[in-house]
Amino acid sequence: MNIHIISVVPELLDSPFGHSIMKRAADKGLMHVTIHHLRDWAVNAHGMVDDYQFGGGAGMVMMCEPLANAIEELNAKHNFDEIIYLTPDGGVFNQHMANALSMKKSLLFICGHYKGIDERIREHFITREISIGDFVLSGGELAAAVVVDAIGRLIPGVLNDETSALFDSFQDNLLAPPVYTRPEDFRGWKVPEVLMSGDHKKIEEWRYEQAMKRTEDRRPDMLNNEE
């Protein structure tokens, strides 16, 4: 999968894709992330990409021209399946969306800053708007990193044990059950006996019960949500 990200603070994205599973995805050639600096399409030699908003009010707005030129140039080369704007008023990101996006070949993410981007870019170029939750970040970069991470780990071959993503929280509309590792007894705090039994059927049943209980306790809304 090819992922392109347009940002006015590309330094914010230096690290998230250079480690751990995202690095492995890149090393295996399964996910390639390219960060573009919007200032490369600035309207003047001062690097101008934003301007005052019409109608007055505090805060700058990211201008049409740099964004339109950047999107058109990159889209002509990469033919994006989706052009995604990260914004707190987008649809709230979830595992269902991550699954759908992980099947695409080429995605472009636009990170907003200041007051956001000119509405005409949203109307004419953006195919999907995503929020990562009901709070406001200072820009879309960290949101883009979250979304790309969630998508990247679902690409077949990225995780070593391919089945492990299938048992993630949310993947079956349940939270994940508790997990334990050695030692079996830490300060007298013992691992549930069933996990030491070697009886795989019993272990599966226990995990399902625990996942169900955890979901009922913490996220009962998920059990009523028939998505």
- By CB under 6 A, name the binding residues for ligand ADE: 86-88, 112, 131-133, 135-137, 140, 143
Task: State which residue, 54 or 135, has the beta carbon closest to ligand ADE.
Answer: 135
- The tokens for 217 are 């306790």
Nearest distance in Å: CB 86, ligand ADE:
4
Compute φ and ψ for 160, nearest 5 degrees. Answer: -60, -55
Nearest distance in Å: CB 80, ligand ADE:
18
Whether 21 contacts 154, CB under 8 Å: no
Nearest distance in Å: CB 208, ligand ADE:
33
Task: State which residue, 74 or 145, has the beta carbon closest to ligand ADE.
Answer: 145
Residue of this chain nearest to ligand ADE (CB atom): 143
Nearest distance in Å: CB 2, ligand ADE:
21
Task: State which residue, 147 or 211, has the beta carbon closest to ligand ADE.
Answer: 147
Task: State which residue, 144 or 165, has the beta carbon closest to ligand ADE.
Answer: 144
Task: State which residue, 113 or 153, has the beta carbon closest to ligand ADE.
Answer: 113
Q: How far apart are CA 75 and CA 106, in angstroms?
A: 10
Nearest distance in Å: CB 136, ligand ADE:
5
